[in-house]
Amino acid sequence: MLKRLLAFLFILWSFSASATHNRAGEITYEWMGGYTYRFTIRICTNEGSNIADRPELEIWYGDGERDTVPRVSETMVPPIGSFSGSDNIYIATHTYDGPFTYYIQVLDPNRNQGILNISNSVNVPFCLRTTLVISPFFGLNYGNSSCVPEKFPCPEIGCVGGRYCFNSAAYDPNGDSLAYELVPCMGDNGNDNGCSPLPFGAVYSYPNVIGGGTISIDPVTGTFCWDNPQIQGEYNIAILIKEYKNGMFVGSVLRDIQITILGICNNDPPQLTPIADTCVVAGSSISFSLTATDPNSGDVVTLNEYGQPFSLTTSPATFNTVGSNPVTGTFNWQTDCSHIRNSPYQVYFIAEDNDPQVPMIDVRSAMIKVIPPPVTGLSVSPVTNTMQLNWNPNTCSNIKGYRIYRKIGTGGGPFSGCCDENTATDNGYTLIATVNGLNNTSYIDNSSLVLGNDYCYVIVSYMQDGAVSCPSEEDCAHLLMDVPVITHVSVGETDLTAGIDTIRWVHPLELDTFSNFTGPYFYKIFKRDGFGNPSSLVFTTPQSNQLYLTQKELIIDTLNTQDKAYSYRVDLYQFNTVSGNEEYIGPTNHASSIFLSIAPADQQLILTWQEDVPWTNTYYKIYRESPTGSNNFVFIDSTFNQTYTDTGLVNGITYCYRVVSYGSYSDPRIPSPLINYSQKACKSPIDLTPPCAPTLSIDNDCEIPLNTLVWNNPNNSCADDVMSYNIYFTPVQGEAFTLLATINSNQDTVFTHVLDNGSIAGCYYVTAIDSVQYGNESLPSNIVCGDNCPVYFLPNVFSPNGDGDNDYFVSFPYRFVEKVDMNIYNRWGQLMFHTENPDIKWDGKNQDNQLECPEGVYFYTCKVYTIRLTGLEVIDLSGFIHLYRSNGASVH
């Protein structure tokens, strides 16, 4: 530490005779492979006869190592107004030992004198710090490079009353996301840790705090603007550019920037036309134009482009301009597969006029996302009870694989121009599978396919980094209808033993009845209680030589439909007349009846139902029996959900309901709608809802003593059926509450309380109770507490001489005292008297031998156990007692 301090003082002394000159700077890095990185330090300096030159700088690598780095280039900046300076670049390479987070720093005492928003700036070192994260998650073959700011602030000049803006025009070579933040400039923290943020207020302030106006920074584009500065001078800001990979912080670059505000100027900034974010399919070209116009007719406007697309090694973007004011630029980019990535490319366009004193700018930026080409040639074909999908390989060989999406029914696409990775799901498709490999272009879907539905598919290509294409064109197919399709399971009668279910199905429409399955045909119907695939055979239909003449309905009338749902499956068989054997052809999917459940509530009934069916129920109608017991059901409402609440009912009255479902398969050959009834279910609404809780207050009067509780009647605000109240109490805060009292009138909202021992210490809460029939109790009110204010005093003299006046040493009237621990001693420290009685009642005798104690002064210690809200609290007392015995020495 001492060596560093001496070296730093030497640097300060070395340049004390020269004007300090650093105006702006940054440190960036490039991954060279393994744990080796190349660092570039770039610093803007002012020039002049008294300016100190820095042909080399010291860099700290953040791992305990340092280097002296030579300057590799010094480029003179064209003079602007009074500014003349240079752009200096220093380069160093360093290899780290392994993964860690490293803080790379450059500390230089040459910060400008007189910076208005940095107190005593000449003595505040110029500090740059960059964060490098070497993570094991990257691996040795995927190191990270910092962002590349293309616009270097050397110099930055604004004027009083104007609008100053600056954009770093940064991009990330790894395609990571960048976020921009305005932070304090950094300085030396006085220890061996290098740079630290300058303290707000004490040393550093944002420029508008000193210079007036307002400042802002766009966290996405990085554009910093200062509107309407009022005070001339030099100011410094620091912009932190943070880098994120898939939401994880992976590094940052701090740019220290000096802004010079001159007096009022007669220049206005140019104006650029807006440009929109977009996406482009790899292999396609993108082109757009934008124009900059300067309101000052004599100004010449330069329009420059920045961003990674212009520096790509393969098929970079181009930007050509025509004119000077206005000036029009045309952006062109022929994209290819190497440009695909999950994060968009950000391009910047900066228009700058040629005012000799204060050039002004306008900035526009756009995000361009390059996505993979969509999959082509998707075909879907049914194969037995599966779907066979085939498609063409993607035209980009760097594709990682494909995602397969499916939905029931058609209606997807076209999807051209999509920029959202969720396009498929947003259009109702569900991801069912992912396959890896460019040439892995087939898939067999055997997941929960239902006969009678049209299944539609799209394919999405995806990249290693998560970039995805637009969905392919949709292709649809349905399973071959070579087995029966179940269409109805409807409850016809609700009963415990004689309930009726009706089961219907349609015969196969695509069964080969000429060569493979020639009949005769018959069905077996299977049943199970509840939901799931049935296994109990309940009926076999008669045989028929004609498939279309086979039985297609079954009514079962010996069921407990009141308490149960039932599920059914229909299997198709043929009888082989040659072998004399039954031959299995195929089953329907299983389907259940609708089972309705009702939950009672206060003046309402909550209906919920469930079914397990292969078709899609699109909506439900709810019927209520009117009058109850008449079997006449009246439509009351419909819903798309499997729940319904019937309100405005009378508690205690029985109501009965049935639910009717309306559904269909997506195959238009199957009749629709498919209408099925639930069982009849009945219930009476009851009040199971407790009232809202009262709000409680307390008047804790120690003098009386008395606790008075007051609460509101919830019937006047948030309830209508409160009948009584329960009051709960605990004498010690934090202990369990017990029921103290019940108030049987909802109008009686005042209660007074004192314990038998006179204490009023304790906590209370109140609950509201509704009608006697239901007795629902509300949540507790707020808890209120009262406390005692104990009083206990002792006299200092008494005269036990038998005259009946002050013959006993007793306490003054006291309150809220449970006991004492009283000890009285003579002048030699011998115990004369002990008691736990708060009244004391010492008769002046030695408690051990009952001899009278002589006149004199006695000393006591007394622990007083007071009754408080928190329990027994001890007060320690001590003092002297004067004991008199001579005649005439009675004490009052």
Cα(663)–Cα(854) distance, integer angstroms: 108
Three-state helix/strand/coil letters over 671-688: CCCEEEEECCEEECCCCC
Among 328, 347, 371, the domain boundary falls at 371
Same domain, 80 and 202: yes
Three-state helix/strand/coil letters over 513-527: CCCCCCCCEEEEEEE
Supply the pLDDT for residue 14: 35
* Token pair for 479: 């399973």
Q: Contact, 64 vs 50, CB < 8 A?
A: no
Same domain, 171 and 53: yes
Same domain, 37 and 120: yes
Supply the pLDDT for residue 306: 95
Average pLDDT, the chain: 91
- Contacts of 203 by beta carbon, 8 Å cutoff, 6+ apart: 118, 119, 124, 187
Within a domain: residue 847? yes
The alpha carbon torsion through 745, 749, 755, 756 (nearest 10 deg) reads -40
Per-residue pLDDT at 138 exceeds 90:
no
Q: Contact, 491 vs 556, CB < 8 A?
A: no
Q: Which of 155, 45, 41 is nearest to 89 (CA)?
A: 41
* Token pair for 138: 């990257």
Model pLDDT for residues 702-720, shown as the tens digit of each residue: 888 899 999 999 999 888 8
Q: Which of 272, 43, 237, 274 is nearest to 158 (CA)?
A: 237
Q: Which of 739, 789, 785, 734 is nearest to 764 (CA)?
A: 785
Alpha helix (H) residue ranges in 739-877: none
The helices-and-strands tally (H runs, E runs) of the chain is: 3, 63
Same domain, 639 and 578: no
Q: Which domain holds residue 463?
A: 379-478
| Placement of tokens 């030159």 in the chain | 53
Q: Is the dihedral of CA 84, 89, 90, 96 positive or negative?
A: positive
Measure Cα distances from 362 to 205, 320, 350, 407 in Å: 26, 18, 6, 48
Supply the pLDDT for residue 803: 87
Q: How far apart are the first and last CA of the chain?
A: 79
Model pLDDT for residues 367-388, shown as the tens digit of each residue: 999 999 999 999 999 998 899 9
Same domain, 628 and 579: no
Measure Cα distances from 747 to 340, 721, 750 in Å: 75, 12, 9
Q: Contact, 95 vs 132, CB < 8 A?
A: no
* Token pair for 450: 């239902």
Model pLDDT for residues 490-514, shown as the tens digit of each residue: 999 999 999 999 999 999 999 989 8
Model pLDDT for residues 388-403, shown as the tens digit of each residue: 999 999 999 999 999 9
Average pLDDT over residues 226-231: 95
User: Please, how many CA atoms are within 13 Å of residue 655, restricted to the half-sphere of its CB?
Assistant: 28
Per-residue pLDDT at 1 exceeds 70:
no
Same domain, 551 and 425: no
Same domain, 447 and 486: no
Average pLDDT over residues 876-881: 95
Residue 346 buriedness (CB in 10 A; 0-12 / 13-18 / 19+): buried
Supply the pLDDT for residue 772: 61
Amino acid identity at 641 = N
Amino acid identity at 794 = L
Pairing label, strands 750-753, 706-711: antiparallel
Measure Cα distances from 283 to 280, 369, 461, 827 in Å: 8, 13, 15, 109
Same domain, 558 and 585: yes
Supply the pLDDT for residue 411: 74
Same domain, 27 and 137: yes
How many structural domains comprise the chain?
Answer: 7
Give 544-565 as a DSSP string.
BSSGGGS--EEEEEEE-TTT--
Within a domain: residue 197? yes
Same domain, 635 and 760: no
**CA 531 distance to own-chain centroid:** 37
Q: Contact, 551 vs 524, CB < 8 A?
A: no
Within a domain: residue 691? no
Average pLDDT over residues 820-836: 96
Which CATH number goes with the domain that contains 561? 2.60.40.10
Q: Contact, 87 vs 207, CB < 8 A?
A: no
Within a domain: residue 792? no
Average pLDDT over residues 111-134: 92
Count of beta carbons in the 10 Å neighbourhood of residue 478:
22
Same domain, 602 and 578: no
Cα(106)–Cα(96) distance, integer angstroms: 18
Per-residue pLDDT at 141 exceeds 90:
no
Cα(112)–Cα(20) distance, integer angstroms: 5
Cα(263)–Cα(227) distance, integer angstroms: 14
Measure Cα distances from 744 to 709, 772, 776 in Å: 16, 10, 14
Supply the pLDDT for residue 112: 84
What is the reported pTM? 0.70
Cα(719)–Cα(414) distance, integer angstroms: 55
* Winning range, highest mean pLDDT, from 88-97, 257-266, 575-584: 88-97
- Residues β-bridged to residue 299: none
To the nearest whole percent, how much of the chain has pLDDT over 90? 76
Within a domain: residue 293? yes
Supply the pLDDT for residue 447: 87
Model pLDDT for residues 309-361, shown as the tens digit of each residue: 999 999 999 999 999 999 999 999 999 999 999 999 999 999 999 988 889 99
Per-residue pLDDT at 405 exceeds 80:
yes
Cα(57)–Cα(109) distance, integer angstroms: 11
Cα(52)–Cα(569) distance, integer angstroms: 93
Among 463, 478, 493, the domain boundary falls at 478
Cα(217)–Cα(210) distance, integer angstroms: 18
Any idea what DSSP says for residue 471? P
Cα(559)–Cα(90) distance, integer angstroms: 90
Within a domain: residue 888? no
Amino acid identity at 189 = N
Model pLDDT for residues 39-60, shown as the tens digit of each residue: 999 999 987 545 567 899 999 9
To the nearest whole percent, how much of the chain has pLDDT over 70? 95
What is the pLDDT confidence band of residue 4, given thresholds at 50, 70 and 90? very low
Count of beta carbons in the 10 Å neighbourhood of residue 564:
14
Supply the pLDDT for residue 754: 85
Average pLDDT over residues 238-264: 94
What is the pLDDT confidence band of residue 10, given thresholds at 50, 70 and 90? very low
Same domain, 329 and 434: no
- Contacts of 59 by beta carbon, 8 Å cutoff, 6+ apart: 27, 39, 41, 66, 67, 69, 90, 92, 104, 105, 106
Among 786, 813, 835, the domain boundary falls at 786
Per-residue pLDDT at 7 exceeds 90:
no
Pairing label, strands 797-798, 871-883: parallel
Cα(864)–Cα(426) distance, integer angstroms: 75
Cis peptide before 673 (omega within 30 of 0): yes
Per-residue pLDDT at 135 exceeds 90:
no
Model pLDDT for residues 258-271, shown as the tens digit of each residue: 999 999 888 899 99
Any idea what DSSP says for residue 151? S
